[in-house]
Amino acid sequence: MPELPEVETVVRGLAPALTGARLLAIEALFPEQLEGPPALYQRASGALIEGVRRKGKYILLDLVPPAGARQQKSAPRHLRLMIHLGMTGKLLLSKASEPLEKHTHAILHFRRSGGSGQLRYVDPRRFGRFVLGAAGAESDPERLVAGGREPLEIDAAEMAALFHGRSGPIKNLLLNQNLLRGLGNIYADESLFRAGIHPRARRLSRPRLYRLHGAVREVLAEAIAAGGSSISDYVGSSGEKGWFQVRHRVYGRTGEPCLRCGTPLRRVVLAGRSAHFCPRCQKQK
DNA sequence: ATGCTACCCTGGCAGC
DNA sequence: TGCTGCCAGGGTAGCA
């Protein structure tokens, strides 16, 4: 399940291959899954891929259409493609000769100095999104990105201020993309364990919020360095697996002994998601 | 504003 | 062996 570290890994894999490349066409194999006006998909043909970015769990491709397409009246100058991987989405750099994976919904054909290639968008469960729109316009898909802060950019005092006065369980707050964007179930649970905070804890004191801030940064940085967590079927843009899952201390370990104190780990449901925690190491107050 | 539940969807697995 | 049923959860809609 791609969260910030997985999406960051994908973007780091895509950027060198796609930045400066020419998008030849977007081939729609399952058009129902692709959002945005069909005319824009036409206009994207021949566009320069100016950049590949991550914002929260979203991947953004900035596209500059060729001059001819740009000069049409009312035609937007720049286009933007936004991809959210949902639970099972993948973006794979492939050669045309490689066999198509099941549930491939779109193929981006591109060409660069080194030759031609494909970027394939695969999403069996279709929880992901693939949206093309005009940059800066009403339809700009970047507007769909939640307004939370980047957890690796916010400092401890800012995060404490952001969370202060919120009444909900801390786990719910960590999953709220309008506060911090990029944390999902795995890294929220892992961060809370490292900070010694119970997922149901509310109205955390300032020192505990500072500790949580440090834990979030630490977990995300380690996970990015490890190439993300390959649970379910996550892989990077070259099909490579991450290995942070072997360092998970609570996620998916219900009933197993806590690595710190040996107490069996427990699971409760919060915000409709499983929260994994150590009942002894993680305190409500 | 806030917080819940339901829903979208397929693959993997347990149980019979 | 093959079927059924349940579970995983990111994000959003609809409701209290």
> What b/e sequence results for A128-143 when a residue is b if at least 16 CB atoms lie within 10 Å of its CB, and e otherwise?
bbbbbbbbeeebbbbe
Q: Provide mean pLDDT across the span A38-47.
A: 94
Does any strand B atom come closer than 7 Å to the Cβ of A103?
yes
Position A167 in a domain? yes
As to burial, measured by CB atoms within 10 angstroms (0-12 exposed, 13-18 middle, 19+ buried), residue A285 is: exposed
Catalytic residue among A3, A8, A50, A190: A3
Q: How far is CA A76 from CA A28, A114, A136, A142, A268, in A?
A: 22, 29, 9, 15, 48
Same domain, A15 and A45: yes
Tokens of A86: 């949902």
pLDDT by residue (tens digit) across A88-128? 899 999 999 999 988 999 999 999 988 899 999 999 888 89
Q: How many beta carbons lie within 10 A of that of residue A16, not counting itself? A: 9
Whether A102 sits among the annotated catalytic residues: the reply is no
| pLDDT for the residue A74 | 60
Same domain, A104 and A82: yes
Task: Give chain A's domain count.
Answer: 2
Does any strand B atom come closer than 7 Å to the Cβ of A127?
yes
Same domain, A131 and A183: no
Q: Is the pLDDT of residue A71 over 60?
A: no
Q: Show which positions of strand B are touched by protein (CB under 7 A).
A: 2-12
Tokens of A156: 């401890």
Please say which residue of A120, A144, A168 terminates a domain. Answer: A144
CA-CA distance, A40 to A19, in Å (whole number)? 20
Whether A55 sits among the annotated catalytic residues: the reply is no
Residues 166-195 of A with CB under 7 A from strand B: 166-169, 172
Does any strand B atom come closer than 7 Å to the Cβ of A164?
no
Please say which residue of A144, A178, A201 terminates a domain. Answer: A144
pLDDT band at A144 (very low <50, low <70, confident <90, very high): confident
CA-CA distance, A222 to A231, in Å (whole number)? 16
Q: Is the pLDDT of residue A143 over 60?
A: yes
Catalytic residue among A5, A8, A43, A57: A57
Q: Provide mean pLDDT across the span A161-189.
A: 90
pLDDT by residue (tens digit) across A251-282? 888 888 999 999 999 888 888 888 999 999 99
Measuring from the CA of residue A275 to each C1', which nucleotide is nearest? C9
CA-CA distance, A165 to A97, in Å (whole number)? 56
Q: How many beta carbons lie within 10 A of that of residue A19, not counting itself? A: 15
pLDDT by residue (tens digit) across A210-231? 999 999 999 999 999 988 887 7
Sign of the Cα pseudo-torsion (A170, A175, A177, A182, in order): positive
Catalytic residue among A55, A143, A267, A273: A273
Catalytic residue among A2, A65, A76, A124: A2
- Name the protein residue, with chain letter, whose CA is nearest the C1' of B12: A232
Position A283 in a domain? no
Tokens of A90: 């993948």
Q: What is the CATH number of the domain that holds A225?
A: 1.10.8.50
Does any strand B atom come closer than 7 Å to the Cβ of A255?
no
Whether A65 sits among the annotated catalytic residues: the reply is no
Position A284 in a domain? no
- List, chain by chain, residues whose CB lies under 7 Å from nucleic acid strand C: A 1, 3, 56-57, 84, 86-87, 125, 127, 144, 146, 175, 177, 184-186, 272-274
**Protein CA A235 to sugar C1' B13 (Å):** 22
Same domain, A44 and A165: no
Measuring from the CA of residue A269 to each C1', which nucleotide is nearest? C9
For residue A90, the enclosing domain spans 4-144
Same domain, A15 and A139: yes
**Protein CA A79 to sugar C1' C3 (Å):** 48
pLDDT band at A28 (very low <50, low <70, confident <90, very high): very high
Does any strand B atom come closer than 7 Å to the Cβ of A124?
yes
SS3 readout for chain A: CCCHHHHHHHHHHHHHHHCCCEEEEEEECCHHHEECCHHHHHHCCCCEEEEEEEECCEEEEEEECCHHHHCCCCCCCCEEEEEECCCCCEEEEECCCCCCCCCEEEEEEEEECCEEEEEEEECCCCCCEEEEEECCCCCCHHHHCCCCECCCCCCHHHHHHHHCCCCCCHHHHHHCCCCECCCCHHHHHHHHHHHCECCCCCCCCHHHHHHHHHHHHHHHHHHHHCCCCCCCCCCCCCCCCCCHHHHCCCCCCCCCECCCCCCECEEEEECCEEEEECCCCCECC
